[in-house]
Structure formats: C-alpha cells, structure tokens
Amino acid sequence: MTTRSLAATAGRRPGKVAALGLLLPGSVVILWQLLSHYGMISEMLFPSPLTIAQSFITLSASGDLWDNFSISAGRVFAGFLLGGGLGLFLGLLTGLFRRSERLLDPSLQMIRMVPSLAVVPLFILWFGIGEESKILLIAKGAFFPLYINTFMGIRGVDNKLFEVARVLGFSRLKQVLRLVLPAALPNIILGVRLSLGLSWLGLVVAELIASTSGIGYMMSDARQFADTPVVFVGIMVFAVAGLASDSIIRLGEQRLLRWQDQYQG
C-alpha cells in the first residue's frame, strides 16, 4: 500500500470510528421509539425519544436549559479546578518525597473512604446551601482520582532513569521536569479524565440535594410534577457534557503522548 493510500485510510478512520460508536445508541433509540409508538412501554414513565426531543426544543427555546446548564458547568469546573488542582499538587508532593507520603497519605486515604453522601449534611451545616457546599462536594470527588494517579505515575517511573539522571548530574528540579513528569504523564492524564468525570457525578448529587438552579435542580423540579421528559433531557445533557469534556481531554492526551508507541487494537 502506498503512502498516499495509507494517509487516505487514516483520514477516513475518525468517521468510521464515529459511525461505529453511534451504531449501538442509534439502534437503542430506534427500538425505544418503536416500542413507545406501539404502546409497549409506558409513555409517562418512559417517554418516547420524540417526546424528549420536543421537551429539549421547548427548554432550549425558552432559555431555561442553557441558563441552568451554564450554572452547572461553572460549578463543575470550579470544583474540578479546586479538587483536581489540590489532588495534583499533593500527588506530586507525596510521590516525590517519602516523608510527605508518610505524613499525608494515611490521612488522605481515610478521607477517601468517607462516602460523599455522608459529608453532605456536614457541608450544609458548615457552608449552608449556597455555592460553597456544592463546589466543595464536587471538589471532594475530583480530588482523589488525580491524587492517586499522580502518585502512582511518579512511583511507577523506572528507577534506572533516576540513576541515569544522577550520572548526568541533573538537579532535583531538572529530574522532576525532564524525567518524572513526562514519565508520569499518562497516569496524570488518566487521573484528569477520571477526576472530571467524577466532578459531573458530584454535581448531580450536589444539585439534587439542595439547589435552586442548575440541571440537577431542573430535574428535581420536574420530578415533583411528574414531568418525565424533562428528567430525561437533564440526564442526556449530563451524558453529552461529560462525554464532550472527556473527548477534549483525550484529544489533548493524543497530542501530549504522541511519542508513545501504543497498541491501537
């Protein structure tokens, strides 16, 4: 096969991958619509895709959907930046220094075992039902994936590379910048992906419990009035937003880790 034909094949690959990825959800939606059309499932509990699409259009046209989504997205990214940033910093600290690991890691592991739902009453007592409690709840979920993956990434660096760095006379800072961080980058990016995903999950918990705005509040409000299509719209907005944010990170991952020779399946 010539170079040109290889390039053409590579260029077609993203479209084929996207089409293959849409095959299963597309089939499910078609089957779902058919079952609803023939009355085989309850329209009240399981509205048809067309009904959900009509609710989406109505909410979009009124502006309610985008107003609530912008509020939710702001909470997610604020919680992710706070929790993920702190997780990255402490992961670097405990990964690079054994004393820091002995000092901090046992306490952090104990906090990790506390379920997020268990701290909700405490956060509400301390911070009320304002933005602080929601962002802190999201930050708690975002913290640990990045912390653990950063720590594991650093501790997984081959010790022989450190010996080479010592032979070459690298300073501690140069070791970190030129050796440790590039070697730990795959784990760190994995931690970012997991952290952002858990931020969206934490948002659902935060907004369903105590909120007066956001997609979670919109769903909770719709549940009280048995407006099931709106609940489905909220679920799908969360799914699409989570997928979009994860896809952006994966694109960045492909660029940052293009030096890796990985098995492509």
Q: What is the pLDDT of residues 98-116, one digit of tens each?
A: 999 999 999 999 988 888 7
Q: How far, CA to CA in Å, does 112 sit from each of 1, 105, 108, 131, 216?
A: 53, 10, 6, 22, 24
- Token readout for 164 is 């080479």
Residue (of 104, 37, 33, 68) closest to 211 by Cα position: 68
pLDDT grade for 139, boundaries at 50, 70 and 90 = very high
Assigned domain for 134 exists: yes
* Residue 7 in this model has a pLDDT that exceeds 50: no
Measured between alpha carbons, how far is 181 from 92 in angstroms, rounded to an integer? 9
Percent of the chain with pLDDT over 90: 36
Measured between alpha carbons, how far is 212 from 81 in angstroms, rounded to an integer? 23
* Residue 44 in this model has a pLDDT that exceeds 90: no
* Residue 1 in this model has a pLDDT that exceeds 70: no
Q: How many CB atoms lie within 10 A of CB 129?
A: 14
- Token readout for 194 is 């997991």
Assigned domain for 11 exists: no
pLDDT grade for 262, boundaries at 50, 70 and 90 = low
For the residues 226-243, what does the mean pLDDT come to?
91
Q: Which string of DSSP letters, residue by residue, matches 130-173?
A: SHHHHHHHHHHHHHHHHHHHHHHHHHTS-HHHHHHHHHTT--HH
For the residues 57-67, what does the mean pLDDT come to?
91
* Residue 124 in this model has a pLDDT that exceeds 90: no
For the residues 219-241, what does the mean pLDDT come to?
90
Assigned domain for 13 exists: no
pLDDT grade for 221, boundaries at 50, 70 and 90 = confident
Q: How far, CA to CA in Å, does 228 sit from each of 48, 111, 219, 223?
A: 10, 36, 9, 7
Assigned domain for 125 exists: yes
Assigned domain for 38 exists: no
* Residue 6 in this model has a pLDDT that exceeds 50: no
Dihedral sign, Cα of residue 17, residue 23, residue 29, residue 32: negative
Percent of the chain with pLDDT over 70: 91
Residue (of 139, 265, 118, 254) closest to 203 by Cα position: 139
Assigned domain for 3 exists: no
* Residue 208 in this model has a pLDDT that exceeds 60: yes
For the residues 229-254, what does the mean pLDDT come to?
90
Domain CATH number, residue 86: 1.10.3720.10
* Residue 23 in this model has a pLDDT that exceeds 70: yes
pLDDT grade for 3, boundaries at 50, 70 and 90 = very low
Q: What is the pLDDT of residue 263?
A: 64
Assigned domain for 12 exists: no
Report the number of distinct structural domains present in the chain: 1
Assigned domain for 20 exists: no
Q: What is the pLDDT of residue 264?
A: 64
Dihedral sign, Cα of residue 112, residue 116, residue 121, residue 122: positive
Q: What is the pLDDT of residue 79?
A: 93
Q: Which string of DSSP letters, residue by residue, matches 55-121?
A: HHHHHHHHTHHHHHHHHHHHHHHHHHHHHHHHHHHHHHHHHH-HHHHHHHHHHHHHHHTS-HHHHHH
Structural domain that includes position 144: 52-256
* Residue 83 in this model has a pLDDT that exceeds 50: yes
Place of tokens 């096969």: 1
Q: What is the pLDDT of residue 75?
A: 92
Residue of 79 and 44 predicted with greater confidence: 79
pLDDT grade for 14, boundaries at 50, 70 and 90 = low
Average pLDDT, the chain: 85
Q: What is the pLDDT of residues 168-182, one digit of tens each?
A: 888 878 888 888 888
